[in-house]
Each structure stands twice: as C-alpha cells, then as structure tokens.
Amino acid sequence: MLEQLVNLIWITAGIAATWHAWSLGLSGPSGPESGLFPFLASVLMTLLGGVLLLNPRTRAPEVLWPPRAGIWRVCGVLAGIAILCQGMDPVGFTLSSLVALVVLLQTIQRAPLWESVLLALVSVGMVNLVLGRWLGMPLPRGPWGW
C-alpha cells in the first residue's frame, strides 16, 4: 500500500512538473526554450511512476527500513546540505563550505577529524582557486570578504 502511494506521488509530481515546464515554453524562434528539458524529464518521471504503479513485479514484499546508523547518516547529510545552503548569504561560500564539508565527511566517511578538516581546507581552497580566481565566477563572499 505504501509503495502504491509513493508511485502516485511520483505521478502527481510528474504531472505538476510537466504543466509548469509547458508554461515555460518548449520551443521558440531560436530553438529550444527553457522548458524543454524539464518537460521531457517530467514526462519520463510520470511514465515511470505509472509503470511502477501498474507493474506487479516491482512490488516489494515488505518495507525494509534502514538500520539506526543509516538514519543518522541521512540526517547528517541533510544537516551538511542545510549548513551549506543557509550559510552562503551570512558567512559566504568559503566558511559555509568548510563547515558543511567537515560535517559531511564526519557523517559519511567517519574519518578522523584532522583528516576531515585537512581535506575540507584543500577542497574548498581548490574550488576557490579554480572557480573564483581562474574562471572569475562570483562566489558569495561573507562579511570578511573571502
């Protein structure tokens, strides 16, 4: 029953996304418009949701919930993404990325803290160098200007 409900949610979300993509426009005088790719993806999502709903061979015999450690990892990943998203404006890209990457590495990789901090420093430094300096992309800067 739960699986059928999830499939109906996929179909409903696909129909809503198809409707919205259609309103963006599929093609214009200069070629494809911004709604073409979302339209195709949402039509595919709707069709696959229908296939899953109608095909009895795809039914799971029972719901298998992840172990407690898996749920904490999922929460840690969500926390890392939330830190990154919510921290961009107030503290900038560099600091929010550092904190989020340390949280993600501690959650997923379970590496020692010093390895997580070192990897986060090197990774964020390289992203700043390549995207910010070499390619000139405007990364969000915090109140400290970095």
Could you report the per-residue pLDDT of 40-77, keeping only the tens digit for each? 999 999 999 999 888 877 666 676 777 777 888 889 89
Other C-beta atoms lying within 10 Å of the C-beta of residue 90: 11
Type and span of the H or E element at 52 = helix 36-54
Biggest distance spanned by C-alpha atoms of the chain: 58
Residue among 44, 39, 59 nearest 11 (CA)? 44
Question: Would you say residue 100 has pLDDT above 70?
Answer: yes
Q: Output the average pLDDT for the chain.
A: 89
Distance CA 20, CA 106 (A): 39
State the amino acid at position 46 in one-letter form.
T
Q: What pLDDT is stored for residue 12 in this prediction?
A: 96
How many degrees, rounded to 5, is the angle at CA 119 between CA 113 and CA 120?
A: 90
Phi-psi category of residue 53: left, alpha or beta, with phi > 0 → left and psi -120 to 50 → alpha: alpha
More confident residue, 143 or 42: 42
User: CA–CA distance from 130 to each of 17, 45, 122, 124, 139 (Å)?
Assistant: 35, 35, 12, 10, 11
For residue 108, the model assigns a pLDDT of: 87
More confident call, 66 vs 78: 78
